[in-house]
């Protein structure tokens, strides 16, 4: 009897503790929600907002429709300094003007990623968000087989090339993605991106208990296991061999260390090395962010060049000026001379930023354009809309690489164009990305002319983690014979040439 009473008493205590804990959590969450709702009420809101649900019922769940919805909202309400939407009980303030974007990105306090990024943590952990020549040569060889044979989708060809490049650069591991696109690791890289972005768009899957009960939780973990097993194996193999690599001064690895090699040799001020877990987070991050973004940028650039033959001719002239009829590999000095091609890449990133929107958590109460935004709120910076401000980019939908010539960039605010983010959380790989994009695009255009086979309205951008065209990039390529040309006379006015000479003399 005593045992029975003791058991019942224990059950009552446990039950009471559970009810108290649940009451506290509910009260706290509800209290935070009500507090934010009241303090953020003056901020303009779009559509009909319901308690608890917010605007979630209005948001599209398909990637392409969701991106178009956000783009249309910013266009429709461009006269507003900002607006807010509620996804469930989580508020998001939408920013798309230079002044509001600068107030966040130029502030060392608001550097935390927003809540939706937590779904990337299982894959990338909390890590940081010059290629070998044979990678782009493989790509050129594949395009030679397509030359003169009609329309094809170049998106996967360029993406696999970028994946090969980052794998060897970041990990020192050749995965041969271009010749083995069916490998389990390659497929899982793309599957994981789709899984995460799908969850971000569906707030009812944000709680783990729901996600693992009726969502993609099991598929998420299965895919994650493949990705982590691969990088785990590479890290441990590399760690075992690094002493041999260091001792052999004649090896290619000694001349060109992979990012992973440098991490394995990194120590802090007290002589402690990074743990393999720390290193895995950094490598996984570089693997994802270091190939998908550059691949998307190069694909959009190919479409734009194929749609604007006059721009492509200028690029060909520049390439011929630098390389003539030579087939020699591209070197670092060549890249510095490809100024117009760099303008093409930057204008492509203006129209189609690889990351069309990104988010931050507000780390202390702040005021944006006169509106109070409380701590722990989220802001979404819509790069796609920011880059279309007619104040800084007249006729914003027009493709004009000349916008980024030095003389045409004078006076443009730094935060009007942020394809690699800005401030303390800017992309640490942006210089690498621009170099890679120059090398790959220059390699393609030295060999081919490109013709786009889609109109811009047919591209249907899909804003997942990365901005992609829903149906790929359809092009035709024809072999070309490089010519010797006088680029300086063809592309620059006498005044520009004179100014450049004066600058060089200084």
Query: d(Cα 142, Cα 138) in Å, to the nearest integer?
Result: 6
Half-sphere exposure of 396 (CA within 13 A, CB side): 17
From residue 392, alpha-carbon distances to 38, 82, 396, 422, 430 in Å are 35, 18, 9, 17, 22
Of 277, 278, 289, 279, which is closest to residue 120 (Cα–Cα)? 289
CB-based burial label for 122 (10 Å; 0-12, 13-18, 19+): middle
From residue 390, alpha-carbon distances to 97, 348, 397, 456 in Å are 11, 16, 9, 19
Q: Which residues are annotated as a binding site?
A: 427
- DSSP tag of 172: S
Of 57, 72, 162, which is closest to residue 461 (Cα–Cα)? 72
Residues 377, 41: contact at Cβ < 8 Å? no
Of 229, 135, 198, which is closest to residue 443 (Cα–Cα)? 135
Query: d(Cα 349, Cα 467) in Å, to the nearest integer?
Result: 10
Query: d(Cα 290, Cα 101) in Å, to the nearest integer?
Result: 24
Residue 272 neighbours by CB distance under 10 Å: 9
In the structure encoding, which two tokens stand for residue 216, read together?
A: 């993609």
In the structure encoding, which two tokens stand for residue 229, read together?
A: 């097993």
Q: Which residues are annotated as a binding site for heme?
A: 427
Residues 495, 488: contact at Cβ < 8 Å? no
Query: d(Cα 484, Cα 488) in Å, to the nearest integer?
Result: 12
Query: d(Cα 309, Cα 137) in Å, to the nearest integer?
Result: 24
Query: d(Cα 431, Cα 429) in Å, to the nearest integer?
Result: 6
- DSSP tag of 62: S
Of 182, 178, 203, 179, which is closest to residue 191 (Cα–Cα)? 182
Identify the residue whose tokens are 């696109």: 181
Three-state SS for 79? coil
CB-based burial label for 502 (10 Å; 0-12, 13-18, 19+): exposed
Of 451, 456, 455, which is closest to residue 475 (Cα–Cα)? 451
């Amino acid at each position: 009897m005593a045992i029975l009473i003791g058991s019942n008493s224990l059950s009552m205590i446990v039950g009471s503790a559970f009810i108290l804990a649940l009451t506290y959590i509910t009260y706290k969450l509800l209290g935070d929600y009500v507090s934010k709702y009241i303090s953020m009420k003056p901020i303009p809101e779009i559509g009909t907002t319901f308690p608890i649900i917010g605007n979630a019922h209005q948001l599209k769940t398909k990637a392409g429709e969701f991106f178009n919805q956000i783009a249309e909202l910013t266009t429709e309400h461009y006269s507003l300094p900002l607006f807010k939407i509620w996804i469930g009980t989580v508020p998001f303030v939408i920013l798309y003007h230079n002044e509001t974007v600068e107030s966040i990105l130029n502030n060392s306090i608001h550097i935390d990623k927003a809540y939706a990024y937590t779904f990337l943590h299982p894959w990338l952990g909390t890590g940081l968000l010059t290629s070998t020549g044979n990678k782009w040569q493989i790509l050129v060889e594949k395009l030679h087989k397509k030359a003169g044979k009609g329309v094809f989708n170049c998106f996967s060809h360029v993406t696999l090339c970028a994946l090969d490049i980052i794998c060897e650069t970041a990990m020192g591991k050749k995965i041969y993605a271009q010749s083995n696109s069916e490998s389990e690791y390659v497929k899982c890289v793309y599957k994981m991106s789709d899984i995460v972005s799908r969850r971000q768009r569906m707030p009812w899957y944000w709680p783990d208990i729901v996600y693992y009960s009726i969502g993609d939780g099991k598929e998420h973990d299965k895919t994650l296991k493949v990705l982590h097993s691969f990088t785990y194996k590479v890290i441990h193999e590399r760690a075992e061999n690094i002493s041999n690599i260091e001792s052999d001064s004649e090896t290619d690895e000694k001349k060109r260390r992979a990012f992973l090699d440098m991490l394995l040799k990194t120590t802090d001020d007290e002589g402690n090395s990074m743990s393999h877990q720390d290193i895995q987070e950094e490598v996984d991050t570089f693997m994802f962010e270091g190939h998908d973004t550059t691949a998307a940028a190069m694909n959009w650039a190919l479409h734009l060049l194929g749609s604007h033959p006059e721009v492509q001719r200028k690029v060909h002239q520049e390439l011929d000026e630098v390389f003539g009829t030579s087939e020699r590999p591209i070197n670092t000095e060549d890249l510095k001379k490809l100024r117009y091609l760099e303008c093409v890449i930057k204008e492509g990133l203006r129209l189609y930023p690889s990351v069309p929107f990104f988010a931050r958590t507000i780390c202390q109460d702040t005021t944006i354009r006169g509106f109070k935004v409380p701590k722990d709120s989220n802001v979404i910076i819509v790069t796609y809309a920011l880059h279309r401000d007619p104040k800084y980019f007249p006729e914003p939908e027009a493709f004009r690489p000349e916008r980024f010539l030095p003389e045409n960039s004078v006076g443009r605010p730094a935060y009007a164009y942020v394809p690699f983010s800005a401030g303390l959380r800017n992309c640490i790989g942006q210089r690498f990305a621009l170099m890679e994009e120059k090398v790959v695009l220059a390699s393609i255009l030295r060999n081919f002319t490109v013709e786009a086979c889609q109109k811009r309205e047919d591209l249907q951008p899909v804003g997942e983690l990365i901005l992609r065209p829903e149906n790929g990039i359809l092009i035709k390529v024809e072999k070309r014979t490089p010519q010797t040309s006088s680029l300086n006379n063809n592309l620059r006015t006498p005044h520009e040439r004179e100014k450049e000479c004066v600058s060089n003399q200084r």
